Amino acid sequence: MAKVKKSPRPKAETPKGFRDYFGAEVTQRTEMLAKIAEVYHRYGFDALETSAVETVEALGKFLPDVDRPNEGVFAWEEDNDWLALRYDMTAPLARVAAQYRNELPMPYRRYAMGPVWRNEKPGPGRFRQFYQCDADTVGAASVAADAEICAMLSDTLEAVGIERGDYVVRANNRKVLNGVMEMAGLSGDNQEAERGIVLRAIDKLDRLGEGGVRALLGSGREDESGDFTKGAGLGDEQADIVMGFMSAKRDNGAATVARLRELVGSSNVGGDGVAELEMMAELLDKQGYQAGRIEIDPSVVRGLGYYTGPVYEAELTFEIKDEKGRPRSFGSVAGGGRYDDLVKRFTGQEVPATGVSIGVDRLLAALRMKGRITAQEVGPVVVTVMDRDRMADYQAMVADLRNAGIRSEVYLGNPKNFGNQMKYADKRNSPIAIIEGGDEKERGVIQIKDLILGAQIAQNATLEEWKDRPSQIEVPRGELVAQVRKMLDGQG
């Protein structure tokens, strides 16, 4: 009789391009998103939560660096229809705005927070699932809506802990770039692909530098891995016009706008874009968002193809070290713009819209680098178990602590080895351990062990300091809550 072949055990590993998030990371993200939501809510935006799954038809052909609607997304066929995980929060909003257009107030102001998925090549710090935090206004054609988004983005960064001077919100207008491309001879209906390559090339200026961008404007570029990216095929004179646009930024907004007006020349669409930038600058200046917080910068274009007017991004300007130890600025953590044609795909009628998306993981990383949040959060107070037959007594202690608002838990592992309980408390980063053995029970007392002070004393302190500040105290059982709170306050 042949042996039955055993099925191999599944590998316990995270899929390529994905990652797991543990306690402190999840808590920190939740707290940061709550601060962001508070700013959005103050500006009059309402929360919206859409399905993680959309039809491929609804998502559309808007992902960068792809040629087909279902490329770059995680998609599958079901009942003769293609479904996909959302790749951003904007395409689902366009679907919602069209589907509920007779019920929603217009303009409709909403914010959304959650994971998105992109079926792209993963790399260092680049994952296929990541969090986004969006705010959009649908149904407002005025650039006052764009200016408001920029102001709100500035306020949001400061609310989460990015100090003024460590960031700048940079704004531009796609119409200006369209005018420049018109002057460079790229306005034909048959040149959409070339315009898309130009947009994505400019958007990579920070990463590739002028040389890399110019290569993409021309025949193309080969990266360090040997992968080749096809270029836009522009001639030298055409490329010079585009590169001149990218270097049009001057010392102040008025001078920058004047230079842009020269570059767009007789282009009507370019002239409209310059006028909108002037209006945005005036509105923001009146609200106190002067240069240093929000400024006009022609190098901002955004890579997605659906933008039709103002575009903007938030850049963190403080210095960090890259993987080779070289200093560089942290870079962009948010971006967005106006997309007046997106809802039109569903309704056939133009519906103006503008919005911004914050890269949650990148902003969290920036806050950690600035010391605004720590990588490890304080764990719960641990009530140890000295006698498993008295579990009810220990549960009563933890109930008293929880009712007083103190995070706490009873050790629920095997209580036989007390040392293992202390190791558990250490792994949990617990600030305090509660101990009540049989002797303490008879005398009506408990032991409260300051685990943070104990660790500091063990590492640094002298014997005299140990005597002055004992890391373990004995108190009456009735003083459990008061003494734990006092000890926690002393730990800061």
Q: 190-232, pLDDT tens digit by residue? A: 677 777 777 777 777 777 777 788 888 887 887 777 788 888 7
DSSP state string for 176-234? HHHHHHHHTT--SGGGHHHHHHHHHHHHTHHHHHHHHHHHHHTTEEE-TTS-EEE----
DSSP-derived secondary structure letter, 107: S
Between the CA of residue 388 and those of 313, 384, 394, 413, what are the distances in Å? 58, 10, 9, 10
pLDDT at 458: 63
At a CB cut-off of 8 Å and minimum separation 6, what does 101 contact?
A: 347, 351
pLDDT at 63: 54
At a CB cut-off of 8 Å and minimum separation 6, what does 116 contact?
A: 85, 86, 87, 88, 89, 129, 130, 131, 132
pLDDT of 46 > 80? The answer is: yes
Task: State the Cα–Cα distance between residues 169 and 157, nearest whole angstrom.
Answer: 10
| Long-range contact pairs involving 14-22 (C-beta distance under 8 Å, separation at least 24) | 16/122, 17/120, 17/122, 17/126, 17/127, 17/128, 17/129, 18/127, 18/128, 18/129, 19/127, 19/129
Task: State the Cα–Cα distance between residues 188 and 181, nearest whole angstrom.
Answer: 10
Q: Are 104 and 39 in contact (CB under 8 A)?
A: no
The dihedral built from the CA positions of residue 125, 64, 199 and 235, taken in this order, carries a sign that is: positive
Percent of the chain surpassing pLDDT 70: 92
As given in the structure block, the two tokens for residue 459 are 């590492």
Assign 406 a pLDDT band (cuts: 50, 70, 90).
very high
DSSP state string for 358-370? EEHHHHHHHHHHT
Amino acid residing at 127:
F
189: Cα within 13 Å, side-chain hemisphere: 0
Provide the residue ranges of all domains of the chain, joining segments of one domain with +. Answer: 23-369, 381-491
pLDDT at 304: 61
Measured N-to-C along each axis, helices 268-286 and 174-183 cross at an angle, to the nearest 10 degrees, of 150
pLDDT at 305: 64
pLDDT at 68: 45
Task: State the Cα–Cα distance between residues 212 and 221, nearest whole angstrom.
Answer: 7
What number of other Cβ atoms are within 10 A of residue 74's Cβ?
16
pLDDT of 466 > 60? The answer is: no
- Is the CATH number 3.40.50.800 carried by domain 381-491? yes
Nearest to 18 by CA among 78, 92, 85: 85
Assign 67 a pLDDT band (cuts: 50, 70, 90).
very low
Assign 257 a pLDDT band (cuts: 50, 70, 90).
confident
pLDDT of 464 > 60? The answer is: no
**pLDDT tens-place string over residues 131-186:** 999 999 999 999 999 999 999 999 999 999 999 999 999 999 989 888 887 887 77
Assign 69 a pLDDT band (cuts: 50, 70, 90).
very low
Nearest to 305 by CA among 28, 90, 159, 5: 90
DSSP-derived secondary structure letter, 126: B
Whether cis (ω within 30° of 0) applies to the bond prior to 107 is yes
Between the CA of residue 350 and those of 85, 88, 105, 339, 355, what are the distances in Å? 26, 21, 17, 10, 16
What number of other Cβ atoms are within 10 A of residue 452's Cβ?
18
Its CATH architecture, for the domain 23-369, is 2-Layer Sandwich (3.30)
Ranges 61-65, 96-100, 385-389: which has the least confidence: 61-65
pLDDT at 461: 54
Of 350 and 225, which is predicted with more confidence? Answer: 350
As given in the structure block, the two tokens for residue 173 are 């207008």
pLDDT at 51: 95
pLDDT at 463: 47
Of 464 and 478, which is predicted with more confidence? Answer: 478
Strand partners for 304: none
3-state secondary structure 442-490: HHCEEEEEEHHHHHHHHHCCCHHHHHHCCCEEEEEHHHHHHHHHHHHHH
Ranges 87-96, 122-131, 418-427, 438-447: which has the least confidence: 122-131
Is there a shared CATH topology between the 23-369 domain and the 381-491 domain?
no
**Average pLDDT, rounded, for the chain:** 86
**pLDDT tens-place string over residues 354-385:** 999 999 999 998 898 888 886 667 899 999 99
> Quick one: average pLDDT of 405-418?
94
Give the best-scoring range by mean pLDDT among 291-295, 301-305, 336-340, 434-438.
434-438
